[in-house]
Copies of this chain bind each other. A is one copy, B any other.
């Protein structure tokens, strides 16, 4: 197994993101968030944008899953959508690059298969993570050769809008673990409680990514306020 995949096995990866317009939007703050995550026992960090990744890599010596969220003309594929974002991420030294791996065409009109081949040829040694929204997309990404597959976009596409990882007794992530042959499956997307993290680990995912439940205080505050107003 690749050394980085060994490092993150059975561990928690903390997604440290605050987009433009969020209260914690700041590479300085995301670097400190990564420090906090490491202090709490995280084995990896997922982060968005070159400046955040560069700052995080200064603060912690943990593997980073890099993404660039870039919207092109309201196109729905926005997680590392084109080679431009791949090139920028490769330069940061992020050990893993994640990209939208749904069956939707990309902003430049290419499909996932041709995009993947192009990336793989240019960067044969970078670990590639497929952010998918369904079991079928997970199987396809695995066949293409992605190193990691995660249902990051389950709940975040037109077809899956509002669905959660624990819906239907965790059916989607269970099925992905069962069907994916070579790639490592990481649980990502709506892992909002320690209990969910524990559950998905028990169905044999390789690692678990948690984001907002740790690093978006506005979202955590809202959960307390909602409970108090019920």
Interface residues of A (CB under 8 A from B): 10-12, 14, 22-24, 26, 28-29, 32-33, 35-37, 39-42, 194-195, 197-198, 201, 208, 210, 213-228, 230
Contact = CB atoms under 8 A, between A and B. Distances in A.
Copies in the complex: 2
A40 B221 contact: yes
A215 B217 contact: yes
B36 A32 contact: no
A227 B11 CA distance: 11
Contact of A217 (B23, B40, B201, B208): B40
Contacts of A24: 29, 32-33, 36
B32 A23 contact: yes
Given A23-B35, A29-B29, A221-B41, A228 B208 contact: yes
A194 B217 CA distance: 13
A214 B224 contact: yes
Q: Kindly name the residue among A37, A215, A230 whose own CB sees the greatest number of chain B CB atoms within 10 A.
A: A37
Given A214-B217, A217-B214, A40 B198 contact: no
Which of A10, A208, A219, A223 is packed against the most chain B CB atoms within 10 Å? A223
